[in-house]
Structure 1
Amino acid sequence: MARSSHPFSNPFGNTEEEQPRRGKPPRFFAPDRTEPTRKFEKLPEQIESSLNIEVASSPEEIVDYETKRVRWYLNKWKRYKELGYDSVIRLPASINPESMEVTDDEIRAAIQNEFHTNKNDYESYAETFKEAWSTMREKVIPIMEQIYGFQPAGDFHIVPTAYGTGGGSLEKDGPVFFRLPKFRPPTNGEPITEVEAITHEILCHEVTAHLREETAIDDSPVVATHQEYKERLMDLLGRTLLVRAGIMKREGVRMVGGGDAGAPDIDPLYYTDPEHPDENNLRYEGRLPDLIKDIETKLSQS
C-alpha cells in the first residue's frame, strides 16, 4: 500500500516493518517474530478454497494481537519520538510510552480496560470485512487466475486494531491490521472501502509478493528500490480485478497506492495501448511473472 505525503495518513498503509528516516516516509523497524496463537474465524465458504481470508473477531484473539502490537511500538518509541512521529501513534490511555518498565501484563490490562468501549467497533468492523470478502470472493478469484496466470493460494489474516499507526502488516506473512474507522486520521474525499482494501493489500500485495522477492519492487521497503513503481503496479492490478469482476466501475476505483508515480514506466508495460488504457487489453494477460520480470529488467537499466 502506498505512502501518502504524511507517513501515517493512509488507513490502509502497507507493511510497517521498516525503520523511519528523516525526509522520507518512515521506514519501520522489523518486529519480534513471535506471534500469539491464531484463533481466526474461518468463513464457511472458504473451507475448500486455496485462497482463504480469515478475520480475527473473538475478544481473546484481538486482545492478544493488540497486546503484541502495542508492545512493538513501545519497543521502538524512542526512535519514533526522535523523528517526531510519536504524535501519530495511538496507544492505550493508561500506558506511558516513556516508561521502560511497562510489562506485557500491564499492556494487556490497559487494552482490556478500553476494550468494552471499542467492543462494538471491533465486532462491526470484523463483520464488515467478512461481508466484503463473502460478496466479492466468487467474482474475483476467477479474474485473478485470468490476469495472473496461476491459481491464487494462501491463508491470509485480517485484524481490526485500535492502536499503532494507520494499519498494514508488521511483518512478512503476518496478519494485516486495519485501523478501526473511528480512530483513522482524517482523509480527503471518500474513505477507501473494505473491498478496495482487501483487493489492494491481500489480492494484489500478498498474493503476488513471492513473485517480487529480491526485486526492485519487493514487498519489503527494505529491499525495494522503486517503491512507487511497485505501488503503481499494485494499483493497476487492483483496478483491473475490480472492474473485470464487475464489482466497481473503472472511474470509481481509488488508486490506493498513491497516485501516478511510476506510471510512465509501468503503464506502457501493463497496457497494450497505454494511451487508451483498457482493463480488457493487457499486454501480459495471464503472464504476471513475465510482466514482473520485464519490469525488473527495465528498472535495472534506468
Structure 2
Amino acid sequence: MAVDNEGAARGSHTTDGADGTSWEPDWDDEYAPVVKAAGRQIKLWRESAGLTQQELGDAIGYSLGMVSAVERARRLPHPEFLGKADEVVGAGGKLAALKKDVEEARYPKKVRDLAKLEADAVELGAYGSHNIHGLLQTEEYARALFNMRRPAYSKDDLERHVAARLARQRIFERTPTPTLGFVLDEATLRRPLGGRMVLRHQLEHLLEIGQLRHVEIQVMPLDREDHAGMGGQLQVLKLKDGTAVAYSEAQLITHLVSDPKEVQVLELRYGIIRAQALSPRESSAFIEKLLGEIT
C-alpha cells in the first residue's frame, strides 16, 4: 500500500464491489506460513500412515491433483478435506484443528484488511451508489454480484469471495456493538441483480437488519435535486483509538484515506448525504413499498 504526497494511504483494489485487479492467490502475506504448514502437516501424516497421495485422495473423495496441490501449498484445503484427512491418517484432531486458520487464509488479503478495520470500528457510516453494501448483502445477492465480474472468477475464487464477504457480517454480532449506518441509493434497491427473487430476498433482509438497535438504514431517493454523493460510494470508520479512516471507490481502485483533512471532507460529505436521505423510518416504509412492487 502506497502513501501519496498528501499523506493518505491508498490501496489498489476494490473492497465492496465485485471487481479486482488480480486473479492470483495472495497467500504471500502473513498467512503464507499457515498455508505451507498445513500442506507439510498433511504430507507428514499421510506418509506416517503409509498412504500415497492417490490413496489418500481416494479415501477422502479428492483427486490426486488436489492432494498434491494442497501438500505443495498451491491450493487451500477445504474444512471437509482437513476433517476427512484427519480421520483417515489418524491425526487425532491435529489436522482438523487447522480449519479456522486455513479458512481465514482463504479470504483475499484485501478483504481481511478491511475486515480488521471494521472489527476495530466503533462507528461505521457508508453510502452505496451502485449495489447494496457488502455488510448488508444476502448470500445469493453476493454470489450474483461476484458472478457478474468480468473477467470472470473461477468457481473456487467465486466461492472464496462470497465466503469472505459473509464472514465480514459478523460485525453485527460483535460485543460491544458498533454503531452502523448505511445510506443506499434508490437505484441499488431497484436493480434486480441476480433476478427479481434475489432482489426480493435482499429487500426483506434489509428490513430485518434495519430493526437492530445499533443499525440505521436510509434510502437516498432518485428524485432528490441536491445530492452530495454524486462522487460515488464511500465509507467512514471511527476506530477505538479515536482516529478515523475512510474509503472511496472507483473502477478497479479503492482509496483508503487516513489523512485527517481528507477524512474530514468525506465525513462531512457523508453527514450531508444522511441529511438529504429519507429517515430510517421513512426508508423502512419505502423498502416495504418496493417489496410490494415485486411480483
TM-score class, shorter-chain normalisation, is under 0.3
More helix by share: 2
TM-score by length of 2: 0.25
TM-score by length of 1: 0.25
Instruction: Give 1 or 2: higher strand fraction.
Output: 2
